[in-house]
Structure 1
Amino acid sequence: MGPFSNTIAGRICDGDAHGAVISRRGDLKIVLGGLKTAAPCRKLVKILLLQLKRIGDLILTTPAVAALRESFPGAQLTIVVSSECANLLPAVPNVDRTLMARRNPRDLALFFSVAASRFDCCIDFTRNDRSAFLALLSGARERVVSYRVHQQAKMRARAYTDFVPIRMRDVHTIDYNLALLEPLGIQTVASRAPCLHLPQMAHERADALRRDSKITRPYVILHPGSSRREKLWEPERWAEVIDHFGRNNDIDLVLTSGPSPNEQAHIAAIKNKVQQQIVDLSGKTNLLTLAALITQSQLLVTVDSAPMHLAAATRTPQVVLFGPTNPFHWRPRESPALILQGESAAPVTAFVPAQPRFAMSQISTGTVINAMDSLLSHRAAAQSS
């Protein structure tokens, strides 16, 4: 951890009644000593949340949003997200207003909306130049970010008033996001589980897609794709898994992916090697429809990608293949999930912040098949009881 790893950071309130002492280091304000309560000490009317990263990052921010809603039930929560997350926004609960950060760095409409809203508080989950500019533009009296900004980018740090001594590499991403709420007096939360509330429209579209695709039996979704090539498992291994379960007449196998050319090429390579029947829905779903399909499935098999987080937020059993990324930071913690990584024949159960980079090729087809059998058997037993 950083130099203040055993402290609670942030400006909770002046003259804290529980013995917290304000320590000044340069232009930083850091609260030392323990607060005895999770109750916020003041009223906040407008809170701005900056989450400009990817789909999974947005989903892993939902526990922090829920904690803010619980602590400040009357506040207006506004979240700024990247344009790639737009389709998922109807499923994100506890948010009153959403703003879109488009790819154009000179997004005048966004800048005007943020500047005109007169926020009381801003929490930056993103920590880059664009989010720092938006934080400064918000005019909020309190602008919260990780202490790492002050260590890594002195000029950018001037956009903030409160710095939380936590590093993303030391904790799970959900815990990192929740730690940024500490300057607001939020020390304990009801749940650390990600959450999505899918609209009925998403389920209706998923049902229609299943009918049109003639998916009539319980089904398993396989989502092999990722935007990062190093996360891809070999096509022939996916084909072996598909052919193994394709001989089972009790389930349908459904292939999904994003629309990008790289993902579509990976899917095409898998299909060229598959001998059993499979339903190909790759590139045919948006995020909400995919989430609804995952919710209705028996099991998801995927790599470290957005569908993993969709399954976690909807409590869907899943087998996740990790390679170069560390499951310590990103793994599903609440949903029934088996994490596979490296040459281990058994799912990973011990997670550490620092680990070597594993190749996806180290995961065997037998390990994946066994993990799928385990979760499918458990699901069947639960449904029959």
Structure 2
Amino acid sequence: MKKILVIATRQIGDVLLTTPLIRAARQQWPEAQIDVIGLAGTLGMLKGNPDIHSLITTHPTKGWRDTLEVLRTIWKRYDLALVTQPSDRAHLIGWAASRHHRSGIIPAKNSSNWWKKRILSHVVVSDGDEGAQHVVMEKMALLAPWHTAAVKDTRVQAPPVQALPPQLDTLVTPQAIVVHAPSMWPYKQWPIAHFRQLLEQLIEAGHQVVLTGSASSVDQDCIQQLRDVAPSPRLIDSSGQLNFNQLVCLFQRAQLYIGPDTSVTHLAAASGIRVLTLFGPTNPVRWGPWPSTPDTRQSYIPQAPEQKVHNITLLQGTMACVPCSKAGCENHTQSRSDCLSEMLPGRVYQMVQNLL
């Protein structure tokens, strides 16, 4: 294999979780050119990754014009296409990219499976969000026909460290606690009122807290409700000021990260910091943050009030329906999740005390 294309056309966290697959491909074919194609705005997690030759951005919202441009860029230029998600578009990109070998993930049941199986050299069947295999290992299975040795290194590769901006570098102490409050979807959002109460408890106990988040309106609306809990430097708002490389620097300096089921939590886990994550309806067996030092003897179970896997401590609600693997109680992205609402700040604060 001289040229390999990895198709990772999902959200940021899922893109980051392709890095063990990319490293395994690099180990199998040390001289190969490995490119990654992904959605606009999602490939920042891969910038500076030494295993990757180039990043190709696609803009599906631009319609056929973008599709034609992508096809011109990749048409039959690769020896192997690795399709890391089951969408029709991802598989079409894989078919266009390679005339020889295509390895892809398909759902257990789907009306389009028939044609995907016909164009694939190797098929990995996903059991979906209720499955018993973590998505990292599911992606690794794409290399099964070619990998000549048992895969030992399944670490997620965090982006290379970049220094903090000077105005933050002088303020953040080694004992800081990083808190990421925003979630992309409401059904994964721990209530902001809960976050506010937790911040008040942390600061009252003498901890410095650093808020993280993007410059998006969703993240800023969330963080706006927390900024007045305490003045700087007891509470520092770094939202909108850091790229992923600088976030890794922040995580490696601080002593603890607290966050929901979101991409930044996956990045924190890969950086090696102690992580306390708050999970709602999502199945941790499939989507639990991948630890910085994976151990096949340790893995998540579907439900436990608290569970620890290396540097990750994961809290879940205690309701009988947890995890439902649905998009909240109403099964849509804007839904509430009662299992997150009933996870009270006092319980999370007590776990912080235990971890520290």
Name the counterpart of 1:371: 351
User: 1:262 aligned to 2:212?
Assistant: no
| Pick aligned residue for 1:321 from 254, 275, 278 | 278
* Equivalence for 2:8: 51
The alpha carbon displacement at 1:155 in A equals: 4.0
- Given the alignment, which residue of 182, 202, 213 partners 1:245? 202
After the TM superposition, which of the residue ranges 100-109 and 253-262 deviates more from structure 2? 100-109
User: For residues 191 and 324 of structure 2, what CA distance do their matches in structure 1 show?
Assistant: 27
Matches within 5 A, 1:169-180: 169=129, 170=131, 171-180=133-142
Q: Is the 8 A contact 2:35 2:54 kept in 1?
A: yes
Match of 1:215 in 2: 172
Match status 1:109 vs 2:69: yes
- 1:236-287 Cα deviation digits (max 9, x unpaired): 21111111111233x4211111222222112122335x35741112222222
User: 1:181, 1:283 → 2: CA distance?
Assistant: 37
> The residue matched to 1:310 in structure 2 has which SS?
helix
Task: Specify the alignment match of 2:313 in structure 1.
Answer: 338
Q: Does the 8 A contact of 2:282 with 2:325 survive in 1?
A: no
Which segments of 5 or more consecutive residues in structure 1 lack a partner in the other structure?
Answer: 1-43, 345-350, 377-385
Give the fraction of aligned pairs with identical amino acids, expressed as a percent. 24
* Matched-pair contact (CA < 8 Å) for 1:49–1:78: yes
- Matched residues, number: 319
Please list, as runs of the form range in 1=range in 2, the aligned pairs for 1:114-193 lying within 5 A after superposition.
Answer: 114-115=74-75, 118-148=77-107, 151-153=110-112, 154-169=114-129, 170=131, 171-185=133-147, 188-193=150-155
Contact 1:80 1:100 in 2 (8 A): yes
1:79 equivalent to 2:79? Answer no
**Contact conserved, 1:62 with 1:93, CA < 8 A, in 2?**
no
In structure 1, what is the Cα distance between the partners aligned to 2:281 and 2:167?
34
1:194 deviation in Å? 0.8
How far residue 58 of structure 1 moved from its aligned partner, in angstroms, is: 1.3
- Describe the superposition over 1:276-311 as per-residue Cα deviations: whole angstroms up to 9, x where unpaired: 741112222222222221222111100011111111
Tell me whether 91-100 or 230-239 shows the greater mean CA deviation.
91-100
1:84-103 alignment, distance < 5 Å: 84-103=41-60
Partners of 1:373 and 1:236 lie apart in 2 by: 20
1:287 aligns with 2:231: no
Cα distance in 2 between the residues matched to 1:367 and 1:208: 35
Match of 2:38, SS state, is strand
Residue 227 of structure 2 aligns with an amino acid whose one-letter code is K
* 1:107-140 Cα shifts (integer Å, max 9, x gaps): 2432212116x21111100221221221121133
- Conserved 8 A contact 2:281-2:325: no
Check the 8 A contact 1:219/1:254 in 2, yes or no: yes
SS at match of 1:215: coil
The structure with the largest alpha-carbon Rg is 1
- Amino acid in the other structure paired with 1:308: T
Identify the residue that residue 302 of structure 2 maps to in structure 1. none
Q: What secondary structure sits across from 2:6 in the alignment?
A: strand
* TM, length-normalised to structure 1: 0.75
Relative distance call for 1:207 and 1:265 in structure 2 (3 A) is closer
User: Could you tell me how far apart the structure 1 residues matched to 2:124 and 2:148 are?
Assistant: 13
Bigger shift: 259-268 or 119-128? 259-268
What CA distance in whole angstroms lies between the structure 2 residues aligned with 1:130 and 1:149? 18
Partners of 2:148 and 2:18 in 1: how far apart? 15
Q: Post-superposition shift, 1:374?
A: 2.2
Alignment RMSD (CA, Å) = 2.6
The answer to which of 164-173 and 50-59 deviates more is 164-173
- The letter of the residue matching 2:193 is E
Q: Matches of 1:168 and 1:62 in 2, distance apart?
A: 20
The range that moved more, 280-289 or 218-227, is 280-289
Q: Distance in 1 between matches of 2:109 and 2:281?
A: 28
**Given the two structures, how large is their TM-score scaled by the length of structure 2?**
0.81
Task: Pick one of 350, 360, 363 that aligns with 2:340.
Answer: 360
